[in-house]
Structure 1
Amino acid sequence: MNERLIGAHIIRLNRVDSTNDYVKRKLSTLSAGTVVIAAEQTCGRGRGGHVWTSCRGKGLTFSIRLSARTGARTVPLYHLFPAVAIVDFLRSENIAAQIKWPNDIVVQGRKIAGILVETISYSQRVDVILGIGLNVNDDEADFPQHLRCSVGSMKSVSGKEYSLKAVFNKVLEFLDRLYSDVQKEDGWLALRDKWVDYCAHIHRPVNIARKNGAAAGIFRGIDDYGFAVIESKGQQLVVRDYAHISLREDHDTRN
C-alpha cells in the first residue's frame, strides 16, 4: 500500500486570515502534503481576487502544500486534479456535481466549492498551494444576499446534514488517491478525459472574460497541456490562462 501524502500531516487552526496565506508564511517549514484547515477565515480568497465567504461550523476551508518538478503540464495539473477529486467525492455521495472552467464545482448551476491555486516557481521546481472551500451544511440564509441565487451547499442540494469531520476525511482520501494516480504514466490523459466528462459546459456556447478583451465561442474541451480549447469563428482558440468563462444565453453555435 502506498504511503499517504495529502493529509499525512494536518494543522488545525481556530481562526486565521487565510489558510493559503498561512501556508505561504510557513512554506519553508511545511512538508509536501501538509494540510492546513481553519474553523474560520477572516480574509478568505477565491480566484480573480474574489472573496470566499464561509460560515463557521458549516463548511470546510483548507489549504494543501505541494511541490513538483517544473514541466509544461505542472501548473495545469494542479488546477484540474483537485476539481476532479472533489467531484468524484460528491458523486460518491449521490450529488451530481460538475466542473466549471477551470475548477469551480457546481450543482444545478450553483457553486458549492471553489479552488484557489497559487504557485511559486523556481528553476527546477514549483511550490503549489491549493486552497479549497467546500460548502457543506450551509443554509441559504448563511450566504450574502447577492450570492444566494448562485451558490449552494451539499445540504441545500441533498436535503441531508453531514459530519464535517467525515466529509473532510473523505475529501482528503479522494484528493490523495487521485494525486497518486496522476503521477502514473497514463495519469494525465485519464485526468483530462475525466475533467471533460465532468465539464458543465462542454460543447456549449460560452463567453470568455480575458485581460486582453472578451471572446465568445463553443467550449470544446482541454488540450494536451491542460488549457481550454474554444471554437470561435471556425478556428480553435487555446486559452492559455484561467480566464473566467460563463455560459452564453443564446445558443447560436455558428459564432
Structure 2
Amino acid sequence: MNAAHIASLSHAKVAVEVVPETGSTNADLLARAPTLTEPVLLVAGHQSAGRGRAGRSWLSSPEGSLTFSLAWKFDGGPQQLTGLPLAIGVALGDALAQLGVQVQLKWPNDVLKDGDKLAGILIETQGAPGGGTWAVIGIGLNLIMPDELEARLGRSAAGAPWLARMERDVLLAALLDALADSLRLFAAQGFGAFCARWNLRHAWQGQVVTIIDNGQVLHEGLAAGVDDTGRLLLDTAEGRIAVLAGDVSLRVKE
C-alpha cells in the first residue's frame, strides 16, 4: 500500500499515512489528536493490539484484512455525534455495494455478509484544542477469513474474496471517499440523513431479538429498525421502546 497513491486516487482531500505495523491505529490517532490540524487516514498493514467495541480484541491477518482509522474533526461536542457509528455503517454498506459486495447492518456498529461479521467499527472521541471534537473512526474489514483465524475467533466470520483481488490502494481510496462524503453529510444533517438507508440494510428487521448487557437480558422484542437518532426500536409485549446504543449486544433469539 502506498500513501501517495491512495491520496491521488481519492477526491476526499485527506492526508493519508501507511505504516507496516502498529499496535492500534485508533490509539495512535487519539494520541496525536491535540496536534492534528486536518483529517488523517492511518492505514496499518497489521495491528497487533486492534480493538473492538467494549474493549474487545479485533483479530485480523495482515494478508486477509484491511485495518485503518480516520481522524475527523467536528465543530460540536461529542453529544452531537449520536448515531455516527450507524452512519459509518451506511457509508461502508453503500461503498461495498458499489464494489459488488452486498452487506447488511447489525445495530449498533457491525457490517454483516450472509449473516456473519464482515467489518467492525469503533469510534472514539477526544476534545479538540480550541473547541470541537476529534472523532477517530476505526474500521476492520475482513477480505479473506483463514480457517486458523476463524478458529481463534471461536465463531464463523465473513470474508469478501472479490475485494481481496482488488488493488489495495484502489479499494482504500474508494472507502475513504465514501467515508469522507458521509462524514460531511453527517456534520451538516446528523443521522437523520442516513436513517432510511440504514433501515433498508437492517439485518434482523422483524426478527425477535434480545438486548443483552453484561450477560443480563434487558429487553426482548421484534426488531423494528432505528429512529432518526440511531436508537434501536423494539416492539415488545409492553409496546414499542427505543434502545440507546451502548455496551450492549444484539442476539437473534434461538
Decide whether the 8 Å contact of 2:123 with 2:135 is kept in 1. yes
- How far residue 150 of structure 1 moved from its aligned partner, in angstroms, is 2.0
Structure 2 residue matching 1:115: 3-state secondary structure: strand
Distance 1:5 1:28, change over 3 A: farther
Structure 1 stretches of 5 or more lacking a match?
A: 250-255
Q: How does 1:195-234 map to 2 (within 5 A)?
A: 195-211=198-214, 213-214=216-217, 215-234=219-238
Distance 1:201 1:71, change over 3 A: farther
Structure 1 residue matching 2:57: 3-state secondary structure: coil
| Number of the residue aligned with 1:244 | 249
Matched to 1:98, the amino acid is Q
| Number of the residue aligned with 2:82 | 76
Give me the whole-angstrom Cα distance separating, in 2, the residues matched to 1:239 and 1:121.
26
TM-score, normalising length: structure 1 = 0.85
Give me the whole-angstrom Cα distance separating, in 1, the residues matched to 2:223 and 2:17.
39
Identity percentage of aligned residues = 25
Cα RMSD of the aligned pairs, angstroms, is: 2.5
Distance 1:134 1:212, change over 3 A: closer
- How far residue 12 of structure 1 moved from its aligned partner, in angstroms, is 1.3
- How far residue 147 of structure 1 moved from its aligned partner, in angstroms, is 3.2
Deviations 1:170-194 (A, max 9, x none): 1111111222233445x64330111
Structure 2 residue matching 1:12: 3-state secondary structure: strand
Higher relative contact order (CA closer than 8 Å, sequence separation 6+): 2
Deviations 1:104-123 (A, max 9, x none): 11111111111011123589
- How far residue 72 of structure 1 moved from its aligned partner, in angstroms, is 8.5
Say how many residue pairs are matched: 242
| Number of the residue aligned with 1:85 | 91
Structure 2 residue matching 1:176: 3-state secondary structure: helix
| Number of the residue aligned with 1:131 | 138
Q: How does 1:1-255 map to 2 (within 5 A)?
A: 8-70=14-76, 74-120=80-126, 125-136=132-143, 138-141=144-147, 143-147=149-153, 149-155=155-161, 158=162, 161-185=165-189, 188-211=191-214, 213-214=216-217, 215-242=219-246, 243-249=248-254
Decide whether the 8 Å contact of 2:64 with 2:164 is kept in 1. no
Give me the whole-angstrom Cα distance separating, in 1, the residues matched to 2:110 and 2:204.
12
- How far residue 125 of structure 1 moved from its aligned partner, in angstroms, is 3.2
- How far residue 149 of structure 1 moved from its aligned partner, in angstroms, is 4.6
Distance 1:225 1:121, change over 3 A: farther
Matched to 1:127, the amino acid is W
Structure 2 stretches of 5 or more lacking a match?
A: 1-9
Give me the whole-angstrom Cα distance separating, in 2, the residues matched to 1:79 and 1:197.
16
